[in-house]
Amino acid sequence: MTTPLKIAVHGAAGRMGRRVVALASADPSVEVTAAIENDQHELLGADAGELAGVDTLDVPLASKWPTDVDVVIDFSLPDAIDRCIEKCESHDTALVIATTGMTDAQVERLRDASASIPVVWAPSMSLAVNLTMKLAQQITEKLRDVPGGLDIEIIERHHRFKADAPSGTALKFGDLIAEKLGDDTKHVHGREGHTGQRTRNEIGYHAVRVGDNPGEHTIVFGMLGERIELNVAASNRDCYAAGAIAAAKWLIDRPAGMYDMFDVLEM
């Protein structure tokens, strides 16, 4: 593009929204032109750049929806998703959505919107996480019929403030692995009491909430006599913000449709 990509950040006052603003402000190929929050937010009117810890951008935190942006990057909350989808659809604006914890009805609403606007939706915008997801699928495909059976467990760790469990990323790992295991796969969340021995067609999930951990996922592939562990961990939130900006750049030239980070990475 010869002119900077104009982006709006939805949830701009949140931890992730601020990092998107900060990284985008340092990228000459994009321009933050709107910073959106709910109409009751205590910081309305504050400069988005100053909130993000960078230079003043002359972009105030506002609840009014912009009409002159190319892409909206959403790092908000499930309660705010419906308005975001509606506004992007009505203004014909591309949407990168990274919010997790959506209801089935909201997911269906997002899919409906993708008939008229291009959407990238992924539970994790991290490039490393998405590459690890592809590796997890490949390992599952090659080992699912190994003699003695293949046991798969997903352990995710996040900060104490995270409201949903297991993480959307852990669930996405499980869905992608289940595609390679078969239709009879069971998803088991935690274990307690006399559970009996592990069945061969289950994926186990375990959520850990500790300190300020920005996100870590370990996929354990256990066999008789050996095991493989895939571990992908963030040391800060910039990987998610950078991935979202990369998705926005990729999305701008795409037709209406539902895309994910595998599409962005061309995997």
- pLDDT, tens digit, 9 for 90 and up, residues 18-27: 999 999 999 9
What single-letter DSSP state applies at residue 253? T
The answer to the question of whether 179 is labelled as a binding residue is no
Catalytic residue annotation: 158, 162
Q: Do the Cβ atoms of 203 and 179 come closer than 8 Å? A: no
What is the pTM (predicted TM-score) of this model?
0.84
- Domain 5-125+237-264 fold is Rossmann fold (3.40.50)
What are the residue boundaries of the structural domains of the chain, listed by start? 5-125+237-264, 127-233
The answer to the question of whether 185 is labelled as a binding residue is no
Give the model confidence (pLDDT) of 77-132 as tens digits: 999 999 999 999 999 999 999 888 899 999 999 999 999 999 999 988 999 999 99
**176 pLDDT band (50/70/90 cuts)?**
very high
Give residue 256's pLDDT.
97
Q: Is the pLDDT of residue 211 over 90?
A: yes
The answer to the question of whether 45 is labelled as a binding residue is no
- Domain 127-233 fold is Dihydrodipicolinate Reductase; domain 2 (3.30.360)
The answer to the question of whether 204 is labelled as a binding residue is no
